[in-house]
């Protein structure tokens, strides 16, 4: 049976054919990194950001670190998904939506389209990291919702449709800093305010490259084989952490159940812009574009906490690799 993918046609998405002589199922964009250091004055770096199609073009929500190293989230605009113009003014979000408490920090955003609404979700500073959510239809006006969880929690990733009548989110409960623990959990909500039915999805330690901590990455992609889910895994070494990208399939109606997963990462730090930067040895996926007509796939990832890169594959090839284990 051929694979089916729930995705609209996206003929203008970024794409490069597999390089001559390469036999791998995934390959990097030849012009990486697509966004580098100092995208505008006062900004130190841009990475770990979300991209999606909008109004025939592309829009993104980007993590920018300022020169004082505090992070915030900004909009970006692109004709082709590769050359970007970033807004210098951050998005108007708060640490707490109800009392309008000023935003402490915001980082590692994702964006999911559910129905007619686009939901931006990010790691929001509220007495420690939690998951903030805001929705929009035009990326001009925004309604910020309640923070999803108590601190400490990060790497919130919404599913693109309700499951069993509930909104679904992956997240990684964790400590206040870069502590060496964190597993992926699934949570459900009837209204995007009250979250419960928490279920363990995947524990760290399945293989060495993700033995220290794991967390959600891009918005899951619905396929006939399950939710195609790209995530990040971290390994501790004698020289610090190493972040890589992995992939798994989750059950369509019970997404806390893993159908299949890979032992090896799909991307790990090896290019210069991934091994060298403000934080070396980081590949951190946050978004994936899919053309529903061809099943082509472009994965956006942060590299070395400094740049943004793109890698290409097809949904079919990636699902095949996951099923091999």
Quickly name the fold that domain 37-324 has: Tachylectin-2; Chain A (2.115.10)
Instruction: From 12, 37, 78, 15, select the one nearest 302 (Cα to Cα).
Output: 37
Write the CA distances from 307 to 36, 47, 283, integer angstroms. Answer: 5, 5, 10
Burial of residue 16 (number of CB atoms within 10 Å: 0-12, 13-18, 19+): middle
The long-range contacts involving 169-172, CB below 8 angstroms and separated by at least 24 positions, are 169/121, 169/131, 169/195, 170/201, 170/216, 170/220, 170/229, 170/231, 170/255, 171/131, 171/215, 171/216, 172/213, 172/214, 172/215, 172/216
3-state secondary structure at position 318? helix
> How high is the mean pLDDT in each 10-residue block of the chain (325 residues)?
92 97 94 94 96 98 95 98 97 94 96 98 96 98 97 96 98 81 94 98 92 96 98 94 98 98 96 97 98 98 98 98 95
H helices within 245-302, ranges in order? 272-275
Peptide bond into 4 cis (omega under 30): no
Domain extents in the chain: 37-324
Supply the pLDDT for residue 281: 98
């Amino acid at each position: 049976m051929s694979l089916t993918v729930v995705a609209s046609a996206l003929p203008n998405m970024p794409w490069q054919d597999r390089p001559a002589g390469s036999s791998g199922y995934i390959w990097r964009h030849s012009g990486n990194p697509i966004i580098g250091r100092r995208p505008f004055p006062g900004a130190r770096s841009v990475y770990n950001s979300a991209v999606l199609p909008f109004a025939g073009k592309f829009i993104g929500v980007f993590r920018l670190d300022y020169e004082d190293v505090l992070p915030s989230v900004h909009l970006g605009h692109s004709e082709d998904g590769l050359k970007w113009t970033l807004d210098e003014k951050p998005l108007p979000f708060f640490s707490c939506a109800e009392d309008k408490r000023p935003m402490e920090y915001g980082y590692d955003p994702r964006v999911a389209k559910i129905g007619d609404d686009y939901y931006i979700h990010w790691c929001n500073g509220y007495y420690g990291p939690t998951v903030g959510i805001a929705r929009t239809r035009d990326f001009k006006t925004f309604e910020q919702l309640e923070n999803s969880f108590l601190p400490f929690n990060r790497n919130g990733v919404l599913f693109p449709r309700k499951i069993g009548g509930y909104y679904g989110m992956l997240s990684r409960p964790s400590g206040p800093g870069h502590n060496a623990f964190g597993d992926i959990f699934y949570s459900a909500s009837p209204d995007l305010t009250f979250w419960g039915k928490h279920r363990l999805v995947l524990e760290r330690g399945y293989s060495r490259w993700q033995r220290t901590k794991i967390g959600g990455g891009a918005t899951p992609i619905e396929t006939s084989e399950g939710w195609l889910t790209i995530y990040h895994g971290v390994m501790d070494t004698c020289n610090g952490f190493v972040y890589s990208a992995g992939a798994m399939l989750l059950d369509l109606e019970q997404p806390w159940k893993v159908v299949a997963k890979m032992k090896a990462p799909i991307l790990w730090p090896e290019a210069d812009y991934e091994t060298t930067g403000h934080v070396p040895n980081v590949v951190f996926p946050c978004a994936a574009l899919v053309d529903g007509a061809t099943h082509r796939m472009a994965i956006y990832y942060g590299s070395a906490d400094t740049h943004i890169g793109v890698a290409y594959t097809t949904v079919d090839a990636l699902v095949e690799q996951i099923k091999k284990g």
